[in-house]
Structure 1
Amino acid sequence: MKEQFQLLQRDTVERAALGIRPGNVLVTVRDYNTLSHLKWALERIDTKEQDIVVMSARISQFGAAAYDLATEQIFSDYEQQLFTKAVSIAESFGKKVSLLLVPARDVWSAIVQTESKLESSAVVAGGSSKMTAQEQAFQMGRAWEASQEPKRQFILQVVHPDRKIDTFHIGPHTPSMKTEDVHLVHRLWLNITREPGLDKVHHHDIVTEALTRFAREYAGRDRQDILRDLRKNSGSRIGTRSIGQQTVEPSLQHISPPQSSEEDGDKGKKKDGPASPPVVGPY
C-alpha cells in the first residue's frame, strides 16, 4: 500500500524552513528495490541527534519547480512508491526521515547544491551497476567544482550491496600518501638539512617546493611528459571523462510523511499500475 504524502512545493532549498538540522546526512535514492544503503545509514545514525534526509532527483528539461503542474505530474506514482518504501524502512528502525524531491537537469549538481543548502555533513549513495564508486565520486567532484560559492566540503560514502563501503572526500582535502612517499619526503629532508644554511627546513617546505616546481613544469614544455608519466603510473583514463551538464539551481519539494500509516487505512488508495523509474542517473 502506498502512503498518502503531503507535498509542499518550494522554489529553493531552505534548511531552517524545513526543520532540518545542520550536520544531517543526505541519502540519495532512485530505485525502491535497492535501498540497502538507506538501511545502512539508519543502522548507524541516531536520528534524535542527527537528521537523515532522503532525496530523489527527477531529471527535467527545466530543472525548476516554477511551473504550474498538477501534483500527479510533479509527484509521480513511482516516486510515491519509492518514498513509501523509504518511510517503511525507517519505521522498521523506529526512526523518522525527511523526504525531498529535487527537479534538476543534472543529478550530480542537484546532489551537490542540495547538500550545500542543507549543510549536510555527508552524502550516502548506493552502488551503481553502470559506474564504479570511483567514477561516482569523480562525477560528484566535477559537479562540486562547477558549483557556485560558497562551497562546502563533505564526505561521500558509496554503500555496495555486499555492505562494502567506499569513502571519498569531496572538495579540497589533505590527500592520502603512500608510505613510500612519506619516507621519500623524510629522506629528502634528512639530506637537505645537512646542507649549509638549511638546518631549519621543515618537511612541508620540501613538499611546497616540489609542488611549485611541478606546477611550473606542467605549465611549460614538460606538460606532455608529465601527463604520459601520470597515465603510466596511475593507469587512469585521464582526459576520457566528461565534465557533465551545466549546473542549475535545484528547486525543492519537501514531502511530509503521514503520521501513521495505520490511521489512513485504504483511504485515498489508488490502483497500482505498472510504473517505471524516472531516469535520474546512476547513484
Structure 2
Amino acid sequence: MTGIHRRRLHQALADTQDADMVLGARVTAVEPGTPGRERARVTWESADGVHNAQADLVVAADEIRSITRSALFPNALRYSGFSCWRAAITDTTVDDRFAMTWGPNAEFGALRISADEVYWYGYVAMPSGRVITDEVRAVREYFAAWAPDVQALTETTDEVIRHDVWVLDRPLPRYTVGRVVLIGDAAHPMLPTLGQGANSALEDAVTVGLVLSAGGDLAAGLQRYEEERYRRTRRLVSRSAQMGRMGAEVGPRGQVLRNALLRITPPRAALRNGTRIFEWMPPRSFGA
C-alpha cells in the first residue's frame, strides 16, 4: 500500500489541470438538466457574491454533507458512533507497511507517506459532538496503554485533528441524475476502517475523466459510469462496515473470541481475502 500526504496530492492535481479554479466557493443549488436537452445549472456563493452558471456536466465532489446530493436525493446522515483522530508527523522509524492495531471499541492505523513522514489515525467510540479542549493530550491518554509503537507515534505528535464519522442512512439508488454525477463522499461515504474513502474518490474521478475523453452520447457515458462504479463502491462501503464490526466495534469480551478465530485462520488466505478488494484498474475502453 502506498501513502501520500493529501496536501501534496491536491497540489499535484492542481498543477496538472488547465481549467479556471474558483476557491472558497460554496454551492447552494443545483438543477441537473437533461442530457441532450437543457444544460445543468449551478448556483454558488463566494466572497464577491452569488453566481450562476450552466454546464454540460456537473461533477459533484462536495463531500459527505453534499449540497448537490441533498438536492437530488434527500437522505439523512447517521452517526457511526465513532470519532477519528488524524495526524501526519515526522518519523523515520516506521516501516513501509500499513499497520493496524485493534483494541476494545477502537483501532489505530499508521502508514508511511514519505521518507520522513507517517500518517496515523485513531478511530474510537465516543458520542457525537464531544468537545475536547486539548486533543493532543486526549489522544495520548487514550492510547497510553496500547502497544509501544502506537504510544511512540502519539507521544511524538504535536498537532492532531478529529472528526466525527458519519455515513448515509441508506445507500443512494444511483450516482447520476441528468447532467450531474456524484463522486467520493458525496456519493458513497464509508467508514475509515479500510482506508478506501479517498482512494475510491480518485477511482471515481478517473472514470469520469474517461467519460469526458470518450466523447459521444453523454447519457450513455454516464450509464457506463454507473455500471463501472456503483457495484464496486457498494462493496467498499459494505466491506468497510464489516471490518468495523470485526475490529473497532468489538468490545473487551468479543475480542477474545475474535482473536481466537484469527489465530486459526491461515495467514495466506487472510491476506488474499483482505487485499483482493484493493485491486482496481480503470476501464480500457469507454466509448459510448
Q: TM-score w.r.t. structure 2 length?
A: 0.26
| Structure possessing the higher radius of gyration over alpha carbons | 1
